[in-house]
């Protein structure tokens, strides 16, 4: 960069226009509050009034599907299709869009169309997917706002399969595009692509850093050449099992997806990978977003270099077929090097008729190949059993693959209530976290009557508030799981989670069930939980001299245990909750960072986080009744005392341990209160302090209460998709 400026007129413009010139570069450990304020309306060219669901309803879905099928066989000179069919490329694009999903935090996946942006658009594993997206542009241009890029990627993958003879399980729209890269997703701490540093124990696949779900930076799953690039199918099988499990797939789904994904298309490695041009994000202006340009030969077609492996997996890679298992199981395979120098497996003494035709050279047949992960489907004992079952029963394989492909591409779309379009399957699938619909409505007078019952039932206001919060705090805006709807806090595994204080929870649920049984009209426990919290907050505000109504919308259902996948829900268990000032144990990550992560998943802004923390503290909602951060002499009243006292210079703050502080009167030296890092960050962080000062002002007592109630309602209704359409 510096060299390019030599000989030019010196001029330093006033704006920071390059990312490495961030104003916070000197303080790299500062809290990244930006993750709470991304995807602001200022970045969205469609404006605040744009409603994607309404636009999607105007879409001629059948016409779009037909256009996509037509696209598959319209080979373009600038990027010729393998065997005259773009199916393999489009499936890979859709797969790699969805395949970034990870179960641990729900981040990644197909839901946002983020493959258009860095780092994903330039991942080594996404080589040449820029070409797939550019091939789709004429169709996106034609249908415009009625179809998002995110939805189009997945639909293109479906239509690729269907144009090649496979019937998919269905398609649901509803993925809304983002307009810049996500700032919240931790893709790994490596400073270089494909580094080998995300395991605490290099010999143990389970030691992969949580929540990451790929073995190396820049890969979707595993290294196709083998662990650390060294072929060993048994070792690779361990990595495959770990990574697919972290993406919510079991062994059968893993084998089905591997086989179904590799039934069509080919890998590209006919050339020298070291001479490829820069990735899209690092390429020169004149490339116009194209990356990985090959300067040798045609630069495409038979001279394409993507993964570095070279060849197809099946005999007819442009058609859906059942030759994957036939070739894998019936031939012996040996290690070979591709023209690009990558390790791959090729068959020994293969029949000529089992060889696929060359993708671009007419009449020439080539050896098929398998990656180390493919060989794992044969060498690993459990995977082999499944492979043999699929081989013997192709119809069963097709059914499992269709469902697994649908799960892969829709896992982060959330419950069925968010699905758009006539092609969405009507069946309930357990991984969708189904919730029964309710058929009752509550009048204003009935709601008020219920609130009175709840406040006078013998439960404390704190018990009501904590139960409502614990029920709702599981929500993740990443994959739209969790939340208060369904009242799964009553069921395994949630009822037994340490963070839910099981004894207190059981007491509250028993009382709410007693109230429910005494009602003349059926009301769900889920609604009663939320309404109880709302009623307690209204009373706490009233005691502070401020009358408010916390908005309440009935309509939550109560899920049953058989609708709840215990293993799948286990990942939602909180191991911390800054809002209730709780840590399950000490972690390497600072408590205030954990708070930020939870806040982002809840979809809250920094001011909303601030208001909630301040309110929760004075309401006495701390886990197990601890008094850390309860900066008030009027606990249980919704006052702004937390902010008044944390900004008061009559006090100083003395560390006791890594996560415990005494708040000391400067004059007397007497300990006034105790606090954690999560409390004190609202006085130490300059941005958070600016919000705390607003709420500490004498003229903002009412504003604080109203802002708290608004933020509270946002959390309680986070999973009420019926209210957002």
Q: Which residues are known to be catalytic?
A: 96
Provide the residue count of the chain. Answer: 725
CB proximity list for 348: less than 8 A, separation 6 or greater: 331, 332, 333, 334
Q: Comparing C-alpha atoms, which of 605, 575, 692, 604 is closest to residue 642?
A: 692
Nearest 10 degrees: Cα torsion 560, 566, 571, 574: 60
The answer to whether 678 touches 582, Cβ cutoff 8 Å, is no
Phi, psi angle pair for 664, to nearest 5°: -115, 135
Whether 620 contacts 636, CB under 8 Å? yes
Spell out the alpha helix ranges (H) of 196-310: 233-245, 251-262
Burial group, residue 77, by CB count within 10 angstroms (0-12, 13-18, 19+): exposed
| Contact criterion met (CB below 8 Å) for 233 and 380 | yes
Angle between helices 394-410 and 149-163 (to 10 degrees): 170
Report DSSP state, residue 227: B
Q: What is the Cα–Cα distance from 138 to 92, expressed in whole angstroms?
A: 19
Region at 144 (left for phi over 0; alpha for psi -120 to 50; beta for the rest): left
- If phi over 0 gives left and psi between -120 and 50 gives alpha, with beta otherwise, what is residue 3? alpha
Q: Are 343 and 200 in contact (CB under 8 A)?
A: no
Cis bond upstream, residue 119 (ω within 30): yes
Q: What would the two tokens of residue 48 be?
A: 């605040």
Q: Which residues contact 583 (CB under 8 A, 6 or more apart)?
A: 575, 576, 591, 594, 659
Task: Give the span between the Cα atoms of 327 and 350, in whole angstroms.
Answer: 9
d(CA 168, CA 399): 9
Q: List, as own/partner pairs, every contact residues 34-37 make where C-beta atoms lie below 8 angstroms and the sequence separation is at least 24, other chains included.
A: 34/183, 35/183, 35/184, 35/596, 35/600, 36/596, 36/599, 36/600, 36/604, 36/605, 36/606, 36/609, 37/605, 37/606
């Amino acid at each position: 960069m510096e060299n390019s400026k030599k000989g030019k007129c010196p001029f330093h413009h006033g704006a920071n226009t390059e990312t490495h010139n961030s104003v916070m570069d000197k303080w790299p450990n500062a809290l990244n509050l930006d993750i709470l304020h991304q995807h602001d309306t200022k970045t969205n060219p469609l404006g605040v009034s744009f409603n994607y669901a309404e636009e999607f309803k105007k879409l001629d879905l059948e016409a779009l599907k037909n256009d996509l099928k037509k696209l598959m066989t319209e080979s373009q000179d600038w990027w010729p299709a393998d065997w005259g069919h773009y199916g393999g490329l489009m499936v890979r694009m859709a797969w790699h869009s969805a395949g970034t999903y990870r179960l641990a935090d729900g981040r990644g996946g197909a839901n946002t169309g983020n493959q258009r942006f860095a780092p994903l658009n330039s991942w080594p594993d996404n080589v040449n997917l820029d070409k797939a997206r550019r091939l789709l542009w004429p169709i996106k241009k034609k249908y415009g706002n009625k179809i998002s890029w995110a939805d189009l990627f997945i639909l293109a993958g479906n239509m690729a399969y269907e144009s090649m003879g496979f019937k998919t399980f269905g398609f649901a729209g509803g993925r809304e595009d983002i307009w810049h890269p996500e700032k919240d997703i931790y893709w790994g701490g490596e400073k270089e692509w494909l580094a080998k540093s995300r395991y605490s124990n290099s010999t143990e696949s389970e030691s992969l850093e949580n929540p990451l779900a790929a073995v190396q930076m820049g890969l979707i799953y595993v290294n196709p050449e083998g662990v650390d690039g060294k072929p060993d199918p048994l070792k690779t099988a361990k990595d495959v099992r770990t990574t697919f499990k972290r993406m919510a797939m079991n062994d059968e789904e893993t084998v089905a997806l591997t086989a179904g994904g590799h039934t069509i298309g080919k890998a590209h490695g006919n050339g020298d990978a070291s001479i490829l041009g820069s990735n899209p994000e690092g390429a020169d202006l004149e490339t116009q977003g194209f990356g990985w340009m090959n300067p040798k030969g045609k630069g495409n077609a038979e001279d394409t270099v993507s993964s570095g492996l070279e060849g197809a997996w099946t005999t007819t890679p442009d058609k859906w077929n059942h030759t994957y298992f036939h070739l894998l199981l019936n031939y012996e395979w040996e290690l070979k090097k591709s023209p690009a120098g990558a390790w791959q497996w090729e068959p020994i003494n293969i029949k000529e008729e089992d060889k696929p035709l060359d993708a671009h050279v007419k009449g020439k047949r080539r050896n098929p190949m398998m990656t180390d992960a493919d060989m794992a489907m044969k060498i690993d004992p459990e995977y082999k059993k499944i492979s043999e079952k699929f081989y013997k029963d192709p119809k069963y394989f097709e059914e499992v693959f269709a469902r697994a492909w649908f799960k892969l591409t829709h896992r982060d779309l959330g419950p069925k209530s968010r699905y758009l379009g006539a092609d969405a399957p009507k069946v309930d699938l357990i991984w969708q976290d189904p919730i029964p619909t309710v058929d009752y409505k509550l009048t204003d007078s009935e709601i008020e009557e219920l609130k009175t019952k709840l406040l006078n039932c013998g439960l404390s206001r704190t018990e009501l508030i904590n139960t409502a919060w614990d029920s709702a705090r599981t929500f993740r805006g990443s994959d739209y799981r969790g939340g208060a709807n369904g009242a799964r806090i009553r069921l395994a595994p949630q009822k037994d989670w340490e963070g839910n204080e099981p004894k207190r929870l059981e007491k509250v649920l028993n009382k709410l069930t007693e109230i429910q049984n005494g009602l003349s009209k059926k009301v769900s426990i889920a609604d009663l939980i939320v309404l109880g919290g709302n009623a307690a907050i209204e009373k706490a505000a009233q005691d502070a001299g401020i009358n408010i109504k916390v908005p309440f919308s009935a309509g939550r259902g109560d899920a049953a245990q058989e609708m709840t996948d215990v293993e799948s829900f286990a990942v939602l268990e909180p191991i911390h909750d800054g809002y209730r000032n709780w840590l399950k144990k000490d972690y390497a990550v600072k408590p205030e960072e954990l708070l930020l992560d939870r806040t982002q998943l809840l979809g809250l802004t920094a001011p909303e986080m601030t208001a909630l923390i301040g309110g929760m503290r004075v309401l006495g909602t701390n886990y197990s009744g601890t008094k850390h951060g309860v900066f008030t002499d009027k606990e249980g009243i919704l006052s702004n005392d937390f902010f008044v006292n944390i900004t008061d210079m009559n006090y100083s703050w003395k560390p006791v341990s890594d996560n415990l502080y005494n708040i000391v009167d400067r004059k007397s030296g007497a300990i006034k209160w105790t606090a954690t890092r999560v409390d004190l960050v609202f006085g130490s962080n300059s941005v958070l302090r600016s919000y705390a000062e607003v709420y500490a002002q004498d003229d903002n007592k009412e504003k604080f209460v109203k802002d708290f109630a608004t933020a509270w309602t946002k959390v309680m209704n986070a999973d009420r998709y019926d209210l957002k359409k």
